[in-house]
Amino acid sequence: MAGLKNLIVWWHQLPLPWRGWRVVGHVGAGDEVPDRLPNKGVVLVGAPGIETWAAFDCPCQRGHRLMVNLDRARQPVWSIDSLKPLTIRPSINNITAERQCHFVVRGGKVDWSHYDRRVTL
């Protein structure tokens, strides 16, 4: 994890409104993902070229972490179609008792689904 901390440089933490979603690091295992990620930052988990997860903080900004499966041997599975700008397909639909966050990351931007419901308990 020390190597990843060096990769996530201070300017990645700046909340620049024009900055899109991007890959900010790569780790070998899910427990090596840093507790704090840069705004709009995604960390890939697994060996380079055969990543198994993409970890990031949900764009709803309510503080929950998402890890989407990139391993085709497990279902459901997502794919990273492009790194620059970042595109993850298909849409991500995170449903809990408190909220539903349904969106797609396309071209470095988040497109929210019309079916979002954000509930505060």
pLDDT per position as a tens digit, 42-77: 999 999 889 999 999 999 988 899 999 999 999 999
Beta bridge partners of 51: 46
- With respect to residue 13, please indicate whether it lies within any of the assigned structural domains: no
Tokens of 16: 């620049």
pLDDT at 10 over 70: no
What pLDDT score was predicted for residue 79?
96
pTM attached to this predicted model: 0.78
- With respect to residue 14, please indicate whether it lies within any of the assigned structural domains: no
- With respect to residue 71, please indicate whether it lies within any of the assigned structural domains: yes
Strands annotated E in 1-121: 22-27, 41-47, 50-57, 65-69, 79-83, 86-95, 99-106, 109-112, 117-118
Domains of the chain: total: 1
Q: Which domain holds residue 60?
A: 2-8+20-118
**Percent share of the chain, pLDDT over 90:** 61
